[in-house]
Amino acid sequence: MYKKILMPTDGSAASQKAIREGLELARHTGASVTFLYVLESISYSLWISPESVPYGLELVEDLKRVGQEALDRAAELARAAGVAYETRLVEGRPVEVILAEARQHDLIVMGTHGRSGLDRFMLGSVTEAVLHRSDKPVLVLRSR
């Protein structure tokens, strides 16, 4: 069955739900989990530079802190469930990083916000992109 499960998180309620369900699956199968937080690289955003955003370095540190807090919450849930885990905070483009990390895993467990219409168009869907591009099975849990 599954030996290694990848659980990307953005710290949202949808991600938390997916983590809880994924941990239950891991506990029943004896799998270990990797919690992944992808910090979208500021360098990919051409509109942010030291000249345009004087507090750019502080912004990056704040974003890293938020990511680490999301990983810490996930780790706490894994400890409580008795599931072996590791955490990874990686900078890059979320879909590409998740797909690259998935190569070493048997399953991806992700949450989705269930956005539609203009919200989905404006914000995109990392989960949908991973679902369509992954050669690994993807378990998607909707927050609603």
Residue 104 buriedness (CB in 10 A; 0-12 / 13-18 / 19+): exposed
CATH of domain 4-142: 3.40.50.620
pLDDT of 15-39, one tens digit each? 999 999 999 999 999 999 999 999 9
Q: How much is the pLDDT for 44?
A: 47
Q: How much is the pLDDT for 52?
A: 59
Q: What SS3 state is found at 56?
A: helix
Q: How much is the pLDDT for 39?
A: 92
Distance CA 61, CA 49 (A): 15
Distance CA 23, CA 75 (A): 10
Q: How much is the pLDDT for 32?
A: 98
Residue 75 buriedness (CB in 10 A; 0-12 / 13-18 / 19+): middle
Confidence band (pLDDT; 50, 70, 90) for 43? Answer: low
The first and second tokens of residue 84, run together, are 């072996």
Residues in contact with 52: Cβ distance below 8 Å, sequence separation at least 6, in sequence order: none
Q: What SS3 state is found at 140?
A: strand
Q: Where are the domains of the chain?
A: 4-142
Q: Report pTM.
A: 0.86
pLDDT of 56-105, one tens digit each? 677 788 889 999 999 999 999 999 999 999 999 999 999 999 999 999 99
Q: How much is the pLDDT for 144?
A: 66
Rg of the Cα atoms in the chain: 16
Using alpha carbons only, give the angle 29, 37, 67 rounded to the nearest 5 degrees.
125
pLDDT of 107-144, one tens digit each? 999 998 765 554 444 345 888 899 999 999 999 998 76
